Amino acid sequence: MRVNVAVSIREVAAHAGVSVATVSNVLNRPEIVASLTRERVQASIRELGYVRNESARQLRAGRSRTIGLVVLDVANPFFTDLARGVEDEANKAGLAVILCNSDDQERKEQQYLELLEEHRVHGVLITPVAGAGARLAGLQRWGTPVVLVDSRSPSRGQCSVAVDDVLGGDLAMSHLLSAGPERVAYVAGPPAIRQVADRLEGARRAMTRAGHAPQDLRVIEAGGLNVGGGQKVGEQIAAMPAGSRPAAVFCANDLIALGVLQEMTRNHIRVPEDISIAGYDDIDFAAAAAVPLTSVRQPRQQLGRTAARLLLDEAADGDTHQHRQVIFEPELVVRQSTQPQ
């Protein structure tokens, strides 16, 4: 049977023979209501099937009990794991998470930020598309806390949580170089993405320290930070004559690395004997790949949890809040896809 009409606090009050204010008190501060009354009201709530109207609460409170999380790509396991950490922490505080997927497009990011603003969210966690500074400033002027995720704050005007991608790139490249490969390459994604640029910088640093010229690192750009992008680059690499093919490649993330790996196998180029491959993120599929992938591990869930905590802190504290920039250290995980030593 469809009823289609919501029962409001007023009807509960009438049914229980008390005032609206008392019902509200039962809901929000049950301890100040006499136990007899409280039970009567609770019985009415159950009987009528009353459900709070969140919109009305929000209107009164001025802010909604949600936070926004804007990521570059929900299909990337890195971000779903991150989202998981955010969700856990938000749940504890009784907040819901609105998950938004910007697809690395400014237009979609902008749309979602407007939506979140209209929803008067408690705050926004965002991995910004390059050049999102202005859009975020708009939000903040309004008093909505913003925490940058996996991205450092250029201005110190906000909190941020990030992993040291330069160090990560350095770790991966140092490891690759330790086997003494003749030629090395970096498979990049869109260079406007900070993570892509930082990891390259780290890789160059490792080159220099090992006595190579930084320009000896060949950079090959993949279309996107996904498996398809890696496959295309893999085809290119496979098509090179064995004599000029890199003996070690560092990929900007694991999805790309998996794409490259697949093309190598398909073309009977052995991993790691003929070519070493290192990825980045250490997503679950990296360990599960048939040639388990050497990768750089980021504390993904912890990243999400920390970001959420910073956001909640800022939202709660308002004026006394001190912005903080938290930086985690990545960790190299060596598996079979790279030559040892």
Residue numbers at the binding site for a second copy (CB under 8 A) = 1-6, 49, 51-56, 58-59, 62, 64, 74-75, 77, 80-81, 83-84, 87, 96-99, 101, 114-115, 117-120, 138, 140-143, 226-228, 230-231, 258-259, 261-262, 265-266, 284-285, 287-292, 318
Does position 25 bind DNA by CB under 7 A?
Answer: yes
CB of 115 vs a second copy, minimal distance in Å: 6
Instruction: Select the binding partner of residue 338 from DNA, a second copy, none (C-beta < 5 to 8 A, by kind).
Output: none
CB of 54 vs DNA, minimal distance in Å: 9
Pairing of strands 295-297, 331-333: antiparallel
- When the beta carbons of 165 and 314 are compared against a second copy, the nearer one is 314
Does position 209 bind DNA by CB under 7 A?
Answer: no
Instruction: Select the binding partner of residue 277 from DNA, a second copy, none (C-beta < 5 to 8 A, by kind).
Output: none
Q: Which stretch binds DNA (CB under 7 A): 23-31, 91-99, 141-149, 331-339?
A: 23-31
Nearest Cα to Cα of residue 251 among 129, 160, 168: 168
Instruction: Select the binding partner of residue 205 from a second copy, DNA, none (C-beta < 5 to 8 A, by kind).
Output: none
Q: Which of residues 59-88 bind DNA (CB under 7 A)?
A: 59-62
Q: Which residues bind DNA (CB under 7 A)?
A: 6, 8-10, 18-22, 24-25, 27-28, 32-34, 36-37, 50-53, 56-57, 59-62
